[in-house]
Structure 1
Amino acid sequence: MIQFILGIIILIAGYFLYGEVVDKHFGADDSRETPATRLKDGVDFMPMSWPRIFLIQLLNIAGLGPIFGAIQGALFGPAAFLWIAFGCIFAGGVHDYFSGMLSLRHDGQSISEIVGIYLGEGARKVMRVFSVILLILVGTVFMTGPANLLTNLKLFGLGSFNIWLIIVLVYYFLATILPIDKLIGKLYPIFGLSLLVMAFGIGGKLVIDGYQLPAFTLTNLHPAGLPIWAILFTTIACGAISGFHATQSPMMARCMTKESYGRRIFYGSMIAEGIIAMIWAAAGMAFFNGIPGLQDALTNGGGAAGVVNTISKGLLGSIGGVLAMLGVVACPITSGDTAFRSARLTIADAIKYEQGPIKNRLILAIPLLGVGFGLTRIDFNIIWRYFAWSNQTLAMIVLWAAAAYLVKNDKSHWITSIPATFMSAVSATYILQAPEGFKLSTTISYPVGAAVAIGALVYFIFKVNGKKTINA
């Protein structure tokens, strides 16, 4: 388990070392009044303590990705640990920090509006549509996922998927329209603590019981031979970098009372999510005695939900397993509800539609939830695949917007433009080679993906460097 333990140590060190570099480079300033106090409205703009915001942000971003995605990514072998650790520190943490802090500097505006400020009106319009579609897909995925998990648990004797789906939908409706401190602010800290206890329980048992991981290698171990580049970098998204997080950060930017809390809340929650992903990737490899055993469990044991159930009960016993599963269920539920809430805010920001009156919130929330419910009738795997690509593409766009912010404020852009270039290559390569994309061979998708990334960097340097007119 040495490689697993080292991965955890690298993530923690990344928070204290590189996280501080990112924070200083941005220039957090506590003398600035935050939107939470300046625009307090009793619904979305509500001052909260940073520990509570941290736990809410962690649950907002930690959906099925760092669990289901990490388990699927574990099929590639120990190379998954490297992507989780270094992707989280140099890409995901940077992405989450800048998406939250830029929203903080611009009155808590949604990410589509932030992108428009720094990349232009065309990008704003594209992002408005793109982000709302992504959020509906996320809400749908995280409506179906927990309903499946709760069906497997047969909690309260309920083993019907449709009943659990309706229960989850009703909760989503309430979380979407109620003031943020009434439901989310009260429940999320409790769910957040249960999630952390669950993760450390699983990780601790792996180490204490002496489970063994496959020998460290960069060789691709995937049974189906799927290429590491760029499938791995899209399969494990939320545990390394995820554009979905950028849609969640503005909600917490509306609740912060000091800019200096940004590193703890945004960068810190990304690192915490990376640790959760590291634990579940290790559990997937070790519990089933290697990659072939994990593949068999995924194929014949009820998919990722069945694997999570088996691991939880196998490591923690019946009672501990149920508690661990409830922690896992909390992840997608608390990301799905804020996905729909964020979609409501994104549309409201775009059309300048006041969200104080409950009637206005209902006008936006009811159609959004209706579309999400309708999409649950579609094959879960199809929705997940399209979500995976659009998720990483959104992360790429947000990183380029952050790079533009740095340029326009006379700061070095490389801290964001390097991961932006990397994610440009990931997004382009994936859609070229993926089954839901163009299904091209790696001999074509690799060089074209690389050319797209290099072209994006060159365009950025020559185009954005000449426009330094926006200050924040």
Structure 2
Amino acid sequence: MITFFSCIILLIIGYFTYGKYVEKVFGVKGARATPAFTHKDNVDYLPMSTSKNSLIQLLNIAGTGPIFGPILGALYGPVAFVWIVIGCIFAGAVHDYLTGMISIRNRGAHLPELASKFLGKVMKHVVNAFAILLLLLVGTVFVSTPASLLHLLMDGKVALGLIIGFIFLYYILATLLPVDKIIGRLYPYFGALLVISALGVGIGLLVTGAPIPELSFQNFHPDNAPLLPLLFFTISCGALSGFHATQTPIISRTTQNETQGRKIFYGMMIAEGIIAMIWAAAAMSLFNGYGGLNEMLAAGGPGAVVSEVSTTLLGAIGGTLAVLGVVVLPITSGDTAFRSARMIIADYIKFPQVKFSSRLWIAVPLFGISMVLTQVDFNVLWRYFNWANQSTAVIALFVGAMYLYIAKKNYFIALIPGSFMLVMVITYILNAQIGFGLSMTTSWIGGAIGAIVLITIFFIAARKARANKIPLEEDISNWNNSVA
């Protein structure tokens, strides 16, 4: 258990050290009014407490990523622990913090608008397409996964289609109603359930003395799937996820003060990493090796692993509560995925969302498309989701790097992880069967060349942006403090 405990400790230390450094580099302004006050509309913009925002953020970004991803990543062995720690501290948490804080400085803007401002107007259209695609895939995947878990939990006594229908009904309400009506009221309780269930599994591992394997860079995958770049796409939300860039503006519009950003954005990514560590350890420990885990996954997917781990470690009642905690994750990310999609489309076409009917005109087509996508094979959806997810993360990191470059600050904290994942994203799509199906050698060469070209374009654009003195934040000098 030395590797496991060491990684947990490193994640916590990372929050108090590197997280503090990233905050210092960005330069928070506690006296600057946030969009929760300057654009308050009591629908999407309204102030909420730090604790409430933190729990909502954790649920928004989590989904099944820090559970299903690490379970699948466990097939590669303890090296999965390494990516969770390094990815969280130096990539995922930086990504989430910069996305959230830059959004706060710019009217709570979503990623497409930020990309347009800092990477060029063409990127606005590209990122809009990517973001909507990603959010539709997320929303659809996060209808299927909780529905299958609930179906399994109820021994198939309730029809799967009926469960999906109820989840869609909830999503419609959470997408259309003001953020404080459902999300603001229920999510703190759901967040507590999530944390308790993860802690329960972690304590269960310790009490039972489950043999958590120690660090090894050997590829344990039974099918000998290549460790690189697949590990970075298998464990996504548990280390780095572009989906988070679509979620943080929800909370950037409800954050009361910039000084709360490290806890809300950086801290909740670290919390997600700890959850990922627990589930990866459980998957590695309870199935008699990676062959047994592979057999369980083949028989029932990650949902079956969750159910087996929960009941084995916590008994029937505790296991049921733990599974419910896992069910909450995708549901509380699926609803905000649709909400984000609505907000992004509204911002893109400049369609105000104060009126309920205005929200309805955008939401109904989104849900219609998603219902059609539920008929597509889950494994195919998951592969496209992973690639779109990490591609979006790369764009968000380059937005952060551009912002810091223009501000003449240490932009390498975003550029280095962004460049690394850019190579992985290009290599993956060149090699994968859902992409071009090229050989791994050709794909690596293509990934390196493609990354060099795009990074060169980034520096050319960055120098131009700095010379043109692109404003880093919205001008709120005329804001009337009395509205707060």
Q: TM (normalized to structure 1)? A: 0.98
Q: Deviations over 1:105-157 (max 9, x none)?
A: 000111110111100000011111110111011000001110000000118x8
Does residue 143 (structure 1) correspond to residue 143 (structure 2)? The answer is yes
* Residue 367 of structure 1: aligned partner: 365
* Residue 477 of structure 2: aligned partner: none
SS of 1:257's equivalent? Answer: coil
Runs of 5+ consecutive residues of structure 2 not aligned to the other structure: 473-484
* Residue 350 of structure 1: aligned partner: 348
SS of 2:465's equivalent? Answer: coil
Q: Deviations over 1:199-231 (max 9, x none)?
A: 011011112211112342111111111111110
Could you tell me which amino acid in structure 1 is paired with residue 21 of structure 2? V
Aligned residues of 1:76 and 1:221 also touching (Cα < 8 A):
yes
* Residue 132 of structure 2: aligned partner: 132
SS of 1:465's equivalent? Answer: helix
SS of 2:209's equivalent? Answer: coil
* Residue 89 of structure 2: aligned partner: 89
Aligned residues of 2:311 and 2:318 also touching (Cα < 8 A):
yes
Q: Deviations over 1:162-210 (max 9, x none)?
A: 0100010000000000000000001100000100000011011112211
* Residue 115 of structure 1: aligned partner: 115
Q: Deviations over 1:308-327 (max 9, x none)?
A: 10110011000000000000
CA–CA distance in structure 2, aligned partners of residues 442 and 144 of structure 1:
32
CA–CA distance in structure 2, aligned partners of residues 81 and 289 of structure 1:
19
* Residue 214 of structure 1: aligned partner: 213
- Single out whichever of 407-416 and 84-93 deviates more from structure 2: 407-416
Alignment of 1:258-277 (within 5 A): 258-277=257-276
Q: Percent identity?
A: 51
* Residue 394 of structure 2: aligned partner: 396
Alignment of 1:69-218 (within 5 A): 69-154=69-154, 158-218=157-217
Q: Deviations over 1:56-98 (max 9, x none)?
A: 0000010011111110011011110000000010000010001
Q: Deviations over 1:309-350 (max 9, x none)?
A: 011001100000000000000000000000000000000011
Q: Displacement, 1:437?
A: 1.2
Could you tell me which amino acid in structure 1 is paired with residue 355 of structure 2? P
SS of 2:17's equivalent? Answer: helix
SS of 2:441's equivalent? Answer: helix
CA–CA distance in structure 1, aligned partners of residues 319 and 159 of structure 2:
20
Q: Displacement, 1:443?
A: 1.4
Total equivalences in the alignment: 470
Does residue 460 (structure 1) correspond to residue 453 (structure 2)? The answer is no
Aligned residues of 2:119 and 2:461 also touching (Cα < 8 A):
no
Aligned residues of 2:243 and 2:392 also touching (Cα < 8 A):
yes
Aligned residues of 1:212 and 1:289 also touching (Cα < 8 A):
no
Q: Deviations over 1:427-451 (max 9, x none)?
A: 0111111121112222111222122
Q: Alignment partner for residue 430 of structure 2, among 429, 432, 435?
A: 432
Q: Deviations over 1:340-375 (max 9, x none)?
A: 000000000111111000010111111111111111
CA–CA distance in structure 1, aligned partners of residues 432 and 16 of structure 2:
37
Q: Displacement, 1:289?
A: 2.4
Aligned residues of 1:213 and 1:290 also touching (Cα < 8 A):
no
CA–CA distance in structure 1, aligned partners of residues 52 and 193 of structure 2:
14
Alignment of 1:279-358 (within 5 A): 279-300=278-299, 302-358=300-356
CA–CA distance in structure 2, aligned partners of residues 369 and 102 of structure 1:
29
